[in-house]
Chain A
Amino acid sequence: MGSELVNPVSLPTYTEIFNRQFPFYLSIGMTYDQYWNDDCLLTKYYREAQEIRNDRKNQELWLQGLYIYDALTKVAPALHAMKPQRPSPYPEKPYPITKEAIERDKEEREKAQREKAKAVFTAWAARLNLPEEVNANE
């Protein structure tokens, strides 16, 4: 009695987790010996290095895209390839690809939106010619 209450799902062993993660670390340049026998904290620094590599690659791709965009917008009028209208602007910076960068980007966009809304409201308030002191009871 009671044995049926025992959770049949057992947690993975450390070895199972090590084996599952091993191919990822091989793919970012760790050797067998570094992963299994060296300082166990090396994995943290390999992950951080991989993030830096990803970020650099993202910057390079963004710059390459900018050159292509520039070339296309310069050559398009001569080829009459586009209707006479301005093309959409190229992104000002690379797309965020890490979790932190995505969150930072979201915060920046929200802040920019707030600033924009504040500016619109201030301009609108200025046009209304409100008196300096407004009685709250009115």
Chain B
Amino acid sequence: MAKQIRFTYDGVDYTLEFTRKSVERMENTGFIISEVFEKPMTLLPTLFAGAFWAHHRFVKRDVIDKIYDSLPNKQDLIGKLAEMYNEPIAALIDEPEADEGNVEWEANW
């Protein structure tokens, strides 16, 4: 199973994941993953919003931004999101593994 971030916000369960289609969609809007570490303040919210597209594509951007603002451990989040974003491409090269190491994201509010 692909890497996911799961959390509940305002009584709604969210599952964040990247598919090839959502990565393609982000690249079509000009997003370049290598720039995230150079401009994290600008691009991390965009990367976070892109992770909603696979399972929650109709959630409005202002709701996503509110969720993003309320999430703790942003430094860890950037690494995990980048890992998730890279998974669709890695899965074209890597061999299957026994443990795919899903991320369980716990919000403490």
B2 neighbours in A (Cβ, 8 Å): 39-41
Query: How far does the alpha carbon of A14 sit from the alpha carbon of B33 in the complex, in Å?
Result: 10
Q: Which of B19, B92, B94 contacts A38 (CB 8 A)?
A: B19
Q: Are B89 and A44 within 8 A (Cβ)?
A: no
Cβ 8 A contact of A45, one of B19, B20, B23, B96: B96
Per the bound structure, the CA–CA distance linking A38 and B87 in Å amounts to: 13
**CB of A27 closer than 8 Å to a CB of B:** no
From A22, which residue of chain B is reached at the shortest CB distance? Answer: B20
Tally chain A residues at the interface, Cβ within 8 Å. Answer: 18
B95 engages A44 (CB within 8 Å): yes
- CA distance in complex: A61, B30 (Å): 50
Contacting residues, chain A, for B88 (C-beta < 8 A):
14, 18, 40
The residue from B1, B27, B54 contacting A37, defined by CB atoms under 8 A apart: B54
Does chain B have a CB within 8 A of A71? no
B residues within 8 A CB of A17? Answer: 89, 92
The answer to whether A37 touches B96 (Cβ under 8 A) is no
Judge whether B48 is part of the interface by a CB distance below 8 angstroms. Answer: no
Residues from 106 to 129 in A contacting B, C-beta threshold 8 Å: none
Q: Which residues of B contact A18 (CB under 8 A)?
A: 20, 23-24, 88-89, 92
A15 and B96 contact, Cβ closer than 8 Å, known pairs A40-B18, A41-B87:
no
The docked-state distance in angstroms from the alpha carbon of A108 to that of B35 is: 48
CB contact between A41 and one of B24, B28, B91 (< 8 Å): that residue: B91
* A-facing residues in B26-80 (Cβ within 8 Å): 27-28, 33, 54
User: Do A40 and B19 have beta carbons less than 8 Å apart?
Assistant: yes
* Residue A35 interfacial (CB < 8 Å): yes
Residues of B within 8 A of A21 (CB): 92
Write the residues of chain B forming the contact surface with A, with a CB cutoff of 8 angstroms.
1-2, 18-21, 23-24, 27-28, 33, 54, 87-89, 91-92, 94-96, 100
With A14-B88, A18-B88, A38-B19 given, name 4 new contacts (CB 8 A): A35-B20, A39-B1, A41-B1, A43-B92
Which A residues contact B (CB, under 8 angstroms)? 13-15, 17-18, 21, 35-45, 48
